[in-house]
Structures are given as structure tokens and as C-alpha cells.
């Protein structure tokens, strides 16, 4: 066995050790340790991805001394390290870009705790990507819930506290539904590891026994993860949580955490339940309809939002709708488009939150749209970044946002009754995106009014540089999507094996 | 009806677990008091753990400590659900502790535990433009 195959485990254990270390070291050391951890995680996930790509393989890694079905396992194919790499890169850029706001929004004595929550968030996301055991999935879902609540609640101020409470209530409902689904599945099959579970579910389904109970279990697990991902109509917590957090937390919550649950759902569908049984249960139609509903309803909510961060948060809920629609298409090409959407949203949304916060700083901390008029002139790099992100979200060619939409539309023509709802939703959602994103992008470049009391601010390189790296990734994906699409195609093919 | 009652009586552990699950879930979902939501969460978790523990129970089975002859392995209760319950309890305690800590902070700040009231406060404050 190659040492590279142990890297997923090393990165998870390293994250846990780093989280413990951040408790005891001074806050500056906590920051440095976390940045090093994220950098190390990027390198390790990249290495595992290269190993799996070169060998065109996925492998199970036994944890401890007991083989399956008694022991625990992690599994790495192309999707798992790919998502791990994406999450690590986005988190690294988010904490660098939002560093100044962390110093401002988090009390001095609590900053080391902030780094603990960042470390635990990374650990839980990596574990959700790599786990091959459904109960381990549940445990790390809860760790992710606790860590992300910490990311949100650590900001000084009453509103983040209420947003945390709301987030926790929804998150706990989601976790509970998922746990009940896991227990039902275990009660029916007696298995927890994905490969054994998939065999047992397939055998039960073929024999025609426990079909109703299995459908209920699939529905509960899917609903639980949908609630936690902020899928429509369970997205009530999302706008407050994403808009009330400090900038780096908003980037991580929106760009990474909601995707972690979506990735786990994809793994459960394709590795644990089996795509055939999932499709036969009818759950994919529900996901498709929820996705379509989210794309339209959350975009309408975004139009009526009064503050920039709330608008970006509602847009996140709409973009998550695309992911669920792709999963609900029930085809390999639909799943490829959904994973493309995960990548697109992960690189674009943190860019919007980072630049949006800087535009707000250039408007004396105000987030309402009248105050943001001309903010692009007061902070030019932030204005450029926001414009790139907004245009990408609309789906303009040569930017990342166009690619998943193209693949969704192309795949829609291969579908049955779903074809026209999907195409219509894509068209309506794009028009709505134009209304709110292009309006904002134009607003920030309008000339300032004569009596404007806001003055130009000096841009900080550590704030806009991560944004420009994300913008570079966005443009690269938009101009030359071929290698990424080929990689995701192979990852999807490996998932089903 | 009598057959259903017999079935429920025969599977009383599952029936109790489902009752706890339902009570807890309804409290978590519908109760307006934050503290009662936390209690509902714990009741629901208890239902899940009861259901899990019941899955591993074998009537007349011993604790799964493998000190005796392997031939007796069939008489041990299944240790995996017990392990899951232990792990679940640790997770549940952590989540409850966090929720209680949040509840204390919310009460200290707003002097209310009514979630509807809290959300209303939030929507009032949101009318201002500040981040």
C-alpha cells in the first residue's frame, strides 16, 4: 500500500490535532496553525486525487484492525479527494480574505476558538467526503453542525446569536431525520458500510421485501440532508445564517459547508443505496421538483432582499436548487452537471461574499442597496471582483457559471417528462439572476451622488488577492472546462462501481 | 384491531421508541420555547437509541465480552448497536450542551426564550441597513 493512500486519514487526524492545539496556543499561532493545516490538506488531497487519477481507481482504506463488515472504512475515488481539495482551497482563501474581519468581529479572547471551529469544520467535511460508513457519516454531520454553529455564533452581536439558534433548530431537525433514516436502514439490512449496505438493499429490493420501509428510510435520509443543505423549501435558516456571520464564515458556510452535505447525499445514493434502488423509490423526482422550486422561489426572494449579503445568501439557496435538480435528473450526465455546479458555486460565492464585505466597508459598513451606489469606485478591486462573480452567476459564457447551465440544458433534452420543467426553470432562473445580480453590479458602478458622505478606501491586498485567485479559477473553468468535465465524468463513473 | 394491539404489545420496545421519537420530533419542530426544543431533541434521541439497542438485543444473550469459548458466540447480544448507541449519546450530549449554551446566551441578551419572538426581533432589526 502506498503512503499516499493514508493521506485522507492523515489529513483528518492532523485537523483534529490542530483543533486541540488551537485551544492552548495564542491566537496568532492558532491562525498560523490553521493556515498550515489548510495548506497541508490542499497538498494531501491533491496528491490523493493524482494517485486515483493516474491509477484510475478507487480504494477502501481499513480503519483499525477489523475488516468489513465489522470494522470501519474510508473510501477514496476521484470524487472524494476532488471535493476535499476544493473545500480545502476555498476554506484557505476564505480565511485569508476574511482575516481582517475576523479580527474585528470576533472578541480578542475568543479568536483561538474561531480557529478551533475552522479546523473542526475542515475535519468534518473531509470525513463526510471520505467516509464509507453511514453512521460515521452521521457523526461527522453533527460535528459539522456544531463547528458551523460556532463559526456563526462567534461573531459579536445579537443578530448572529438569533441566526445561530435558527440555524441549530433547522440543522437538528435535519440531523434527526437523517439519524432516524440510518437506524431504519440498519434495522432492515443489518449493515452500515456502504458496499455491504448496497448489496443488502439491492437483494431486499429484488426480493420485494421491506420496500415501503426502505423507501421511508431513503426519504428520511434524503430529507435530512436536504434540510441541512438549505434546499427549498427548507432554506428558512440560510439567509440569516449566511448573512449574519463574519465574512470568512459566510464564505465557508455558503461556499463549502452546504456542499459537504450534498456530496454525502451523492455518496449515499450511489455508493450505499445504489442508483437503481434510489430511482425506483421515486425520491429523485422529489429532489428534481425541490431543486426546480428552489431555483425559482429563492431567486424571487433574492430580488426582494433589502441587503446585499441577504441577497447573496438567497442566491446561494437558488444555486443549491441547481445541485439538487442535477441529482434528481437521475442520470450520470445530470450528476456531472450537479458536481460542476458544486465547483462553480464553491469558487464564485466566497468571491461575492469577500467583495461584498469590502464594498460594505467602503460604505461605512452599510449593506443596503442605496448606500452601495458607487461603492465600486470607492474600492475598485472589490468592485471588479463583485462584477465578475455577479456576471458568472448570471451564466455569461467564458465564466464558470455558464458551464453547469450548459450541461444541465444539454442533459435536459435526454430526459422524459422532466425536459420542459428543467429547461423552463433554467430560463426563468437565469432571467431572475439577471434582475438581481446585474442590477447590483450596475449599481456599484453608478456615479456617486453629489452629497455622498462615503470616501474611497485603501484596498488591502490580503483581502482582494484571495478574491482574485477565486476569480482566476472561475475564468479558467469558464474558458477551458474540458479537463474538469473529463475528471468529473470519470469520478461519476467510479462512483457507480 | 385486536391483532394490531397484540402486535404493538409484542413489539413494545419498538412502539415505545416510535412514541418517544414522535413526541421529541414534534417538540423540536412545533414548540416555541427554546428550552423545550432542547428537551424534545433529547427525548427524540432517547427514542432512536432505544430503537437501536433493541435491534441488537437477543433474549437470554450475554454481554459481548469474548472471554469464553467461541462456540457460545451465538448467545452474545450484538455489540454493534451498543457501540452506535454509545457514540450517539456522546454526539447527543455535545449537541445538547451547545444548544443549552446558546439558550443561556439568548436569554441573557433578549430575556426571552420564545423563538417566534426572537425571529420577530430579527426581522425588525433587519430593516436597518447595517451588516
What is the tens place of the pLDDT at every residue in A43-87?
999 999 999 999 988 999 988 778 877 788 999 999 999 999 999
- DSSP assignment of B30-91: H--BHHHHHHHHHHHHHHHHHHHHHHH--TTPBP--TTS-GGGGGGBPPHHHHHHHHHHHHH
Q: Hey, are the CB atoms on B119 and A162 less than 8 Å from each other?
A: yes
In a domain, B42, yes or no: yes
Residues in chain B, overall count: 131
Which pLDDT score, from 0 to 100, does residue A416 have? 86
Full residue range of the structural domain in which residue B113 is found: 2-60+70-126
In a domain, B47, yes or no: yes
Annotated domain spans of chain A: 1-277, 282-497
Which pLDDT score, from 0 to 100, does residue B71 have? 55
The residue ranking higher by pLDDT, A243 or A121, is A121
Mean pLDDT of A469-473: 96
- DSSP assignment of A449-461: PTT------PPPH
Decide if pLDDT at B39 tops 60. yes
The residue ranking higher by pLDDT, B1 or B89, is B89
The residue ranking higher by pLDDT, A31 or B5, is A31
Which A positions 297-356 lie with beta carbon below 8 A of chain B? Answer: 306-307, 309-310
The band of A458, judged by pLDDT with boundaries at 50, 70 and 90, is: confident
Q: Hey, are the CB atoms on A163 and B98 less than 8 Å from each other?
A: no
Q: Which residues contact B89 (CB under 8 A, 6 or more apart)?
A: B45, B49
Q: Hey, are the CB atoms on B131 and A192 less than 8 Å from each other?
A: no
> What is the number of CB-based contacts under 8 A between chain A and chain B?
106
B77 touches chain A (CB under 8 A): no
Per-residue pLDDT tens digits for A356-394: 999 998 888 888 898 889 899 899 999 999 999 999 999
CB count, 10 Å around CB of B87? 14
C-alpha triplet A199, A203, A207: angle, nearest 5°: 170
In a domain, B115, yes or no: yes
Distance from CA of B2 to the nearest CA of A (A): 23
Q: What residues are paired with B62 via a beta bridge? A: B76
- The interaxial angle of helices A111-130 and A79-97, nearest 10 deg, is 160
Decide if pLDDT at B129 tops 70. no
Backbone angles phi, psi at A155, to 5 degrees: -70, 135
Which pLDDT score, from 0 to 100, does residue A495 have? 85
CB count, 10 Å around CB of A151? 26
Q: Hey, are the CB atoms on A163 and B95 less than 8 Å from each other?
A: no
Per-residue pLDDT tens digits for B50-84: 988 887 777 777 777 766 555 565 677 778 888 88
Mean pLDDT of B96-122: 88
Which pLDDT score, from 0 to 100, does residue B127 have? 52
Percent of chain A at pLDDT > 90 equals 71
In a domain, B89, yes or no: yes
The band of A308, judged by pLDDT with boundaries at 50, 70 and 90, is: very high
Mean pLDDT of A451-456: 73
Q: Which of A46, A179, A330 lies closest to B17, judged by CA?
A: A179
Distance from CA of B110 to the nearest CA of A (A): 8
Phi/psi zone of residue A63: left (φ > 0), alpha (ψ -120 to 50 degrees), beta? beta
In a domain, B26, yes or no: yes
B12 touches chain A (CB under 8 A): no
In a domain, B131, yes or no: no
Q: What residues are paired with B130 via a beta bridge? A: A366
Q: Cβ-count burial of A434 within 10 angstroms (0-12 exposed, 13-18 middle, 19+ buried)?
A: middle
Per-residue pLDDT tens digits for A427-444: 999 999 999 998 899 999
Give the nearest chain B residue to A134 (CA atoms): B84
Backbone angles phi, psi at A193, to 5 degrees: -75, 140
Which pLDDT score, from 0 to 100, does residue A215 have? 94
Which site among A70, A183, A368, A372 would you substitute to test the B interface, given the most B Cβ atoms closer than 10 Å to its Cβ?
A: A183
**What are the Cα distances from residue A335, in Å, to A281, A485, A493?**
18, 11, 10
We report the CATH number of the domain holding residue B33 as 1.10.287.3510
DSSP A1: -
Backbone angles phi, psi at A426, to 5 degrees: -60, -45
- Domain count within chain B: 1
Which pLDDT score, from 0 to 100, does residue B115 have? 86
Amino acid at each position: 500500500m502506498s503512503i499516499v493512500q493514508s493521506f485522507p486519514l492523515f489529513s483528518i487526524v492532523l485537523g483534529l490535532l490542530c483543533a486541540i492545539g488551537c485551544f492552548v496556543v495564542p491566537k496568532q499561532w492558532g491562525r498560523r496553525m490553521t493556515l498550515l493545516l489548510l495548506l497541508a490538506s490542499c497538498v494531501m488531497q491533491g496528491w490523493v486525487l493524482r494517485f486515483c487519477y493516474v491509477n484510475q481507481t478507487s480504494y477502501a482504506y481499513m480503519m483499525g484492525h477489523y475488516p468489513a463488515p465489522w470494522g470501519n472504512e474510508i473510501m477514496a475515488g476521484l470524487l472524494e479527494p476532488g471535493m476535499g481539495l476544493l473545500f480545502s482551497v476555498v476554506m484557505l482563501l476564505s480565511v485569508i480574505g476574511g482575516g481582517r474581519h475576523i479580527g474585528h468581529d470576533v472578541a480578542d479572547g475568543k479568536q483561538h476558538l474561531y480557529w478551533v471551529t475552522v479546523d473542526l469544520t475542515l475535519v468534518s467535511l473531509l470525513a463526510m467526503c471520505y467516509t464509507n460508513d453511514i453512521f460515521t457519516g452521521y457523526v461527522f454531520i453533527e460535528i459539522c453542525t456544531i463547528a458551523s454553529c460556532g463559526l456563526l455564533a462567534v461573531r459579536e452581536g445579537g443578530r448572529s446569536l438569533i441566526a445561530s439558534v435558527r440555524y441549530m433548530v433547522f440543522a437538528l431537525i435535519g440531523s434527526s431525520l437523517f439519524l432516524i433514516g440510518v437506524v431504519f436502514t440498519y434495522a432492515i439490512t443489518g449493515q452500515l458500510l456502504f458496499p455491504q449496505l448496497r448489496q443488502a438493499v439491492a437483494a431486499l429490493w429484488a426480493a420485494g421485501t421491506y420496500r415501503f420501509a426502505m423507501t421511508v428510510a431513503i426519504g428520511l435520509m434524503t430529507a435530512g440532508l436536504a434540510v441541512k443543505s438549505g434546499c427549498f423549501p427548507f432554506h428558512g435558516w440560510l439567509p440569516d445564517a449566511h448573512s449574519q456571520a463574519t465574512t470568512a464564515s459566510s464564505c465557508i458556510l455558503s461556499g463549502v459547508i452546504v456542499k459537504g452535505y450534498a456530496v454525502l447525499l451523492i455518496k449515499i445514493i450511489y455508493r450505499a443505496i445504489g442508483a437503481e434502488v434510489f430511482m425506483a423509490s421515486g425520491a429523485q423526482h422529489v429532489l428534481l421538483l425541490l431543486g426546480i422550486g428552489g431555483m425559482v422561489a429563492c431567486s424571487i426572494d433574492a430580488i426582494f432582499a433589502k441587503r446585499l449579503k441577504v441577497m447573496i445568501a438567497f442566491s446561494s439557496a437558488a444555486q443549491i436548487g441547481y445541485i439538487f435538480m442535477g441529482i434528481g435528473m437521475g442520470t450520470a450526465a445530470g450528476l456531472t452537471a450537479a458536481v460542476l455546479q458544486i465547483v462553480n458555486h464553491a469558487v464564485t460565492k466566497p468571491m461575492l461574499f469577500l467583495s461584498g464585505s469590502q464594498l460594505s466597508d467602503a460604505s461605512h459598513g452599510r449593506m443596503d442597496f442605496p448606500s452601495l451606489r458607487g461603492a465600486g469606485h470607492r474600492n475598485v478591486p472589490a468592485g471588479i471582483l463583485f462584477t465578475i462573480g455577479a456576471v458568472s452567476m448570471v451564466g455569461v459564457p467564458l465564466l464558470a457559471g455558464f458551464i453547469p447551465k450548459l450541461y444541465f440544458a444539454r442533459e435536459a433534452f435526454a430526459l422524459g417528462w422532466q425536459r420542459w420543467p428543467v429547461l423552463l426553470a433554467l430560463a426563468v432562473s437565469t432571467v431572475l439572476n439577471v434582475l438581481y445580480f446585474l442590477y447590483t453590479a450596475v449599481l456599484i458602478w453608478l456615479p456617486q451622488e453629489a452629497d455622498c458622505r462615503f470616501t474611497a478606501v485603501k484596498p488591502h491586498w490580503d483581502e482582494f488577492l484571495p478574491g482574485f485567485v477565486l476569480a482566476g479559477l472561475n475564468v479558467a473553468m469558464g474558458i477551458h472546462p474540458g479537463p474538469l468535465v473529463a475528471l468529473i465524468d470519470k469520478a461519476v463513473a467510479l462512483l457507480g462501481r | 384491531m385486536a391483532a394490531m394491539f397484540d402486535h404493538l404489545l409484542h413489539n413494545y420496545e419498538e412502539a415505545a421508541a416510535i412514541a418517544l421519537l414522535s413526541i421529541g420530533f414534534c417538540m423540536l419542530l412545533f414548540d416555541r420555547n427554546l428550552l423545550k426544543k432542547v428537551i424534545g431533541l433529547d427525548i427524540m434521541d432517547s427514542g432512536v437509541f432505544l430503537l437501536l439497542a433493541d435491534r441488537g438485543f437477543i433474549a437470554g444473550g450475554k454481554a459481548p465480552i469474548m472471554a469464553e469459548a467461541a462456540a457460545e458466540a451465538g448467545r452474545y447480544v450484538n455489540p454493534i448497536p451498543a457501540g452506535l448507541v454509545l457514540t450517539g449519546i456522546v454526539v447527543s450530549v455535545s449537541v445538547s450542551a451547545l444548544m443549552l449554551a446558546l439558550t443561556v446566551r439568548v436569554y441573557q441578551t433578549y430575556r426571552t426564550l420564545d423563538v417566534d419572538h426572537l425571529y420577530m426581533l430579527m426581522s425588525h432589526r433587519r430593516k436597518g441597513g447595517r451588516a
